[in-house]
Structure 1
């Protein structure tokens, strides 16, 4: 892992060829440290992982927010290039408002050089939790992740109280992005709008909505983080095979 003022890189083991590039965009209150576990896990499967800082969303000028965000993502992707260029496919993984920004940007035709997206924990216009204990419970029941959030001096408590600009939420849920999309949500996420997520998934040409049992808002980092990471890796591998799954179940008793 290498640290930079604007991003954190996770490198895979020496030897295997890099299988693609993953850029992770955190959400409200989060820092790059929030995604250390996910970054290491994806990097171990020979993906080049870069975690950027959360994107500030300006409710007074959402279009400018997306323009700045698009430029940052383009710079982050180009900065991962090796001697043979950027390893493809390039996949943007957004969480919470990071997912909103990714979906809104691609839906509006913004150029990000992304070949696919993972949208995790897309928020709705739901009421936010109250005190810190309420926020922790809304985010995760994973002891390790709760400890990470509690011990991270850069993490902003109460951030889920911050309203997401309505124009960007509308753009995200109405996104017409034509790249493959994996949408992840927890069925115990108090901030999720399952009906809206279902409509969005059905409206996109190449989207899959995966619901994680008993997972909360921080679906990438909750108790089920191993299964969620496996779902992401399966998606990444399918991308390299024209979205044809590499494993199919022919017979099962469970």
Structure 2
């Protein structure tokens, strides 16, 4: 089995290395490869045994995508090499149905008529390989996307949902009436779209915010989640001895990774943190922790302390409040003595 590659016409937004499952061939991922390439991503189905270092384009985001037992291999590999994201599809965490013949195997694999025909006509596809799967790695993966069909009889969804519950920074997408080959099932377009969104969130910092109902009443003073997350991230860096990745910060501080990626970019632009890519990459404080103030953090991620209603006759009052609060926060370090002015005196 040789390496298959699908490349975008323009600039490469990142590389997805796809590890197929039992019996599958690279040709089965042509549709997936073309779709992701149309969105600007290179898709590689590497030759078994090849060096992972040659799968990815230098300087671009790196993603591992595994299906079926390929998901278990991708999970293990993500613990050994540097990748920006991990997608696990149809992960076999418990024993399931073993189809009796070809017709039954096609039925448990896909409900997509195009893919069913492709399976039947692929001369290199290996039938009857859906036997016992190996055990998953003992260490949990960092911030994966889990894709699964709720009608998957080969790899039941329940243990995958249980795994997702143990991964506060991961996400689980379960497709109604979906069967085992999630990337080539009837909802293959939705699965591909979910992967593209994940790649954009990780590689490009594009975040889709959830719709939140506005409360009827709110406190006069509110601390935004952006400020809260930023302060937590900076304290995590203050206690570190070297660069720390976003994935580690998010896990330790229980911050949504998608939000953290954008915040770290804002903090870097404000000169509060520095960063480095590569195997030893990550973030660290650009100055001593005691020299960075809460006021600087607020300005970096929120802009202003007070938002004044347009046309308010009391605008001058609120601007003075903004000045005084900003002055106070400008004297409070992110790490160190946080007593009141009187307490410090």
TM-score, reference length from structure 1: 0.77
Distance 2:80 2:110 in 1: 32
1:118-133 alignment runs, 5 A limit: 118-123=87-92, 124-133=94-103
Distance 2:136 2:24 in 1: 23
Q: Deviations over 1:158-214 (max 9, x none)?
A: 111x3222xxx242xx44222x21000001110223231122112224210110111
2:4 aligned to which of 2, 8, 13:
8
User: Residue in 2 aligned with 1:176?
Assistant: 140
Distance 2:136 2:191 in 1: 26
User: Residue in 2 aligned with 1:36?
Assistant: 30
Shift of 1:249: 4.1
SS in structure 1 of the partner of residue 96 of structure 2? coil
User: Residue in 2 aligned with 1:72?
Assistant: 51
Q: Deviations over 1:117-160 (max 9, x none)?
A: 00000112223111111100000111100011111101001111
2:110 aligned to which of 140, 149, 165:
140
Shift of 1:241: 4.6
Residues 186 and 215 of structure 1 are in contact (CA less than 8 Å); yes or no, is this contact kept in structure 2? yes
SS in structure 2 of the partner of residue 159 of structure 1? coil
User: Residue in 2 aligned with 1:100?
Assistant: 72
Distance 1:181 1:114 in 2: 11
Q: Deviations over 1:17-38 (max 9, x none)?
A: 2111111111000000010000
Residues 26 and 52 of structure 1 are in contact (CA less than 8 Å); yes or no, is this contact kept in structure 2? no
Distance 2:136 2:163 in 1: 11
Q: How well do the aligned residues superpose, as a CA RMSD in angstroms?
A: 2.0
TM-score, reference length from structure 2: 0.58
Q: Deviations over 1:77-96 (max 9, x none)?
A: 3xxx3xxx2421x1101000
Closer, same or farther: CA 241–27 of 1 in aligned 2, 3 Å: same
1:50 aligns with 2:60: no
Shift of 1:248: 4.1
Q: Which one has the largest radius of gyration? A: 2
User: Residue in 1 aligned with 2:240?
Assistant: none
Residues 103 and 175 of structure 1 are in contact (CA less than 8 Å); yes or no, is this contact kept in structure 2? no
| Structure 1 gap segments, 5+ residues each | 56-67
Residues 215 and 223 of structure 1 are in contact (CA less than 8 Å); yes or no, is this contact kept in structure 2? yes
2:133 aligned to which of 164, 168, 171:
164
1:195 aligned to which of 158, 162, 183:
158
Distance 2:136 2:185 in 1: 27
1:246 aligns with 2:208: yes
Q: Deviations over 1:79-117 (max 9, x none)?
A: xx3xxx2421x11010001001111333xx312x21110
User: Residue in 1 aligned with 2:180?
Assistant: 217
Closer, same or farther: CA 204–175 of 1 in aligned 2, 3 Å: farther
SS in structure 2 of the partner of residue 122 of structure 1? coil
2:60 aligned to which of 87, 104, 112:
87
User: Residue in 2 aligned with 1:27?
Assistant: 21
| Structure 2 gap segments, 5+ residues each | 214-345
